[in-house]
Amino acid sequence: MIALSLAEIASVLGGELRLHGSDTAETIVSGVVDTDSRKMVPGAVFVAKPGEVTDGHRFVGSAVASGAVLAIVEHPVDDTVSQIVVADVIEALAALAKEVVARVRAKGDLRVVGITGSNGKTTTKNFIARILQDEGETVAPINSYNNEVGAPVTMLRVTETTKYLVSEFGASGAGSIARLAGLVEPDVVVVLMVGLAHAGGFGGIEKTAQAKAELIEAARRGGTAVLNIDDPRVAAMRPLAESREMRVVGFGRTDAADLRASDVEVSATGTTCVVHAGAEALPLRMQVLGEHHVSNALAAIAAAGALGIPAATAIARLETVEIAERWRMQPMGGDRVRIINDAYNASPDAMAAALRTLAQIAAPGQRTVAVLGAMSELGEADGEEHDRIGLLAVRLNIQRIVVVGAEARRLFLAAVGEGSWDGEAVHLPDQDAAFDYLSGELRDGDLVLVKSSNSAGLRFLGDRLGESFS
């Protein structure tokens, strides 16, 4: 965080400053800001967030022991550290992030990129950050820090020397993207796709589309909107962007795209295509697995172009990326059995894309194994979408379908109903049972995909399998 006095922070937050020890209102704070007491370092600011399971106010002491010099709280705690008492620490966190970014913008040339979409946000964020980091100091979220806590915490890592801030925006409901993106008013916004991820929480896919469009409404007037024109719901956001005097860059696989990919090929060593940028036809050879990542790469190249970085330069930097993110199409295992751990998240679109990748990259005669868990937050579409994935796995001729957990049982039943009934599909109650089964079932040469929503936790099963067969 930039250097601010305790008095300045209290003023920004509209809170009551309670000083401790030798601190004065003019004492300067410039450390990291976080809600996790385990991430405190000397000079840090601890935000005591109340939670459903525990309360951050209980951990002020441990935060101070690790070096925190200020606590932002909703009620006074013991007097071991200076505190600012506010009505709502989450609102205070947002207010502080907004102020810090505004001050850095006012003093320098900070440019902000905002990303949203039902799938691909974190991968695209990593792609964009990789391109930008060679241009200057770049701040981007760790993992998927894209909610009411993670997004402001990321923003607060900005300093006076930061050139680029890349923000990822998830949506917990209507208005959430507008609130978060409104803190920074991005110069460049990227909308990747509108799918069924979290659709149950929004009340349907059209409401999801409205939520994603909030990013455009929160962008700086006259900026750039990077839109996936292969997705009709995203393409339909063009008039909204144009009403805000924004330049629109469409990316996709069709001839209508401003930035287009052709000749896409997927193999066990990566993904290749030709990127058409104006009159240029540029080869792209990604180490990242999966045809679906071509769209994410196009979005990153387009966003970089909006910031003045040539497509050829962006492509050269993308080619150095080895994996999209931990637990996202992450190759594991060894020469005997190859594991692809893609179990950080799973919407129906992402699940289908991962299964198609498994089928595409398998060598002739190589046995494919899909270890699948539940997809969460689908609302009324839950049963139908699990059915669809079960059918797809069979139709892609995945030789072994291992379904884990009671919430995914319908996927298993759909696979059996489609013809995978002679031992090709099995249903196991939990990760331990699945690990035991797979330890005996997998054989030399197998190619294994592990895929589920985060809540199903199969990423840890993927780690165990990767270590076991390394």
Find which of 47-56, 137-146, 368-377 is predicted with most confidence, using mean pLDDT. Answer: 368-377
What mean pLDDT do residues 139-163 have?
91
Q: Give yes or no for residue 196 having a pLDDT over 90.
A: no
**pTM summary value:** 0.88
Q: 122 a known binding residue?
A: yes
Q: 66 a known binding residue?
A: no
Question: How far is Cα 362 from Cα 444, in angstroms, rounded to an integer?
Answer: 14
Q: What is the pLDDT of residues 302-328, one digit of tens each?
A: 999 999 999 999 999 999 998 877 888
Tell me, what's the pLDDT at 379?
82
Q: 119 a known binding residue?
A: yes
Q: What is the pLDDT of residues 390-430, one digit of tens each?
A: 999 999 999 999 999 999 999 999 999 887 667 799 999 99
Tell me, what's the pLDDT at 197?
56
Cβ count near 18 (within 10 Å) = 18
Q: 123 a known binding residue?
A: yes
| 380: confidence class by pLDDT, cuts 50, 70, 90 | confident
| 201: confidence class by pLDDT, cuts 50, 70, 90 | low
Tell me, what's the pLDDT at 200?
52
Tell me, what's the pLDDT at 203?
62
Q: 51 a known binding residue?
A: no
| 329: confidence class by pLDDT, cuts 50, 70, 90 | confident
What mean pLDDT do residues 264-293 have?
94
Tell me, what's the pLDDT at 327?
81
Round the average pLDDT of the chain to a whole number and report it: 93
Domains and CATH numbers, the chain: 4-87 (3.40.1390.10), 92-318 (3.40.1190.10), 330-468 (3.90.190.20)
What mean pLDDT do residues 235-250 have?
98
What mean pLDDT do residues 168-194 have?
93
User: Worst-scoring range by mean pLDDT, 17-26, 113-122, 415-424, 444-453?
Assistant: 415-424
